[in-house]
Structure 1
Amino acid sequence: MKKADAFEFYRRLAEADPAPETELDYRNPYTLLVAVALSAQATDVSVNKATKALFEEVDNPQAMVALGEQELRRHIRTIGLYNTKAKNVIALSEQLIRDHGGAVPADRAALEALPGVGRKTANVVMNVAFGAPTIAVDTHIFRVGNRTGLARGKTPLAVELKLEKATPAPFLSHAHHWLILHGRYVCKARKPECWRCIVADLCAFKPKTPPPTAAAA
């Protein structure tokens, strides 16, 4: 996608949603970190349901360690891979206490050193909690980047690096959210809803999906 088209792409997304936010519920950087770690291979909706009662009881690593792995499993048992995730959350909480005084570091390397925290999780926390211009490439952003031609790549890291170059500076802070929301609700995996897409004319995807009535006819 040409630079001018990329600028217009983001400009329209920004005009439609000037202040996008994560759909994960959280109270502070620590609960955000936990929520994002729990969201791997799970929907934000399912994570929010599981953490509603949890975060009323626990909102810091000390309280999480005191809660214990068994009780944490009870809270998150409706989420996929909950046994492994519970073990990782307790372990990362212990490491935060030991290495960072209980605070969530605003550094990618330090975040990725935590149990169960990969580059995507670290990027989300840096962006949402600390305002860093990072782009966390999940399945939605990977799809949108490749499908639209905005940033094509064979791996999430390749797409992330291309997006960082293709995204104009004024839009970097919110790019992560705009692309996720666009992929989640418009540029869907099975059938993109091109007929109501505000950037369809800038997108390389062909042929464009027709409206349901036209498709039926």
Structure 2
Amino acid sequence: MRILVVTAVPAEADAVRAGASGLDVLAAGVGPAAAAVATATALAKAPNDRRYDLVISAGIGGGFQPAAPVGSLVVADRIVAADLGAETAEGFVPVTDLGFGSIAHDPPADLVRRLVAAAGGAAGTVLTVSTVTGTAERAAELAARHPGALAEAMEGFGVAEAAAAHGLPVLEVRAISNPVGPRDRAAWRIGDALAALTEAFGKLVPVLNEPEPGGTP
């Protein structure tokens, strides 16, 4: 299986490489637009005899408490663009309710289950946001709109859009560096999260390359 892993920044890319070899790892930049452009470009440039089979958005992110504590791992069973829509007097309206677009991608359910079983952590919705949550009010609003949300980050939906355009499955893997809520940089544990990401990819790659039950890799 040929896998493209897309991170936001070089430190995340280095953490993935430290955990697993044989992956193409790309630091695409911060935010869904940069992630989508870089992913789509890499997929389009792949030679015909070396096409990718799977795309993974990976990195660190914020965790909704207490379900996703700092240092834990989240594997997305749904990737959602949480702030793609419109603000109204009645509250936020997603772009789908306005009659166009899409806001979600669903990774392969069986593969998500196998990854969680191998690496630990939890499966749940990972929200893609263009503005990182910095208040308790915003965290509560997102949790109310997305009851299954475990984490937020800034690139997953962009990566998923590019993968879908090329007909490829997508995963999102996040190691939790901070709680979603009031912004407190002193409480962030970026080093611990990067170490968790390295450990996770050391466990994930064998699962990704093993035959599916009743099938082939």
Higher strand residue share? 2
Q: Using CA pairs below 8 Å that are at least 6 residues apart, which structure has the higher relative contact order? A: 2
Q: Fold-level match, TM-score > 0.5?
A: no
Structure possessing the higher radius of gyration over alpha carbons: 1
Higher helix share: 1
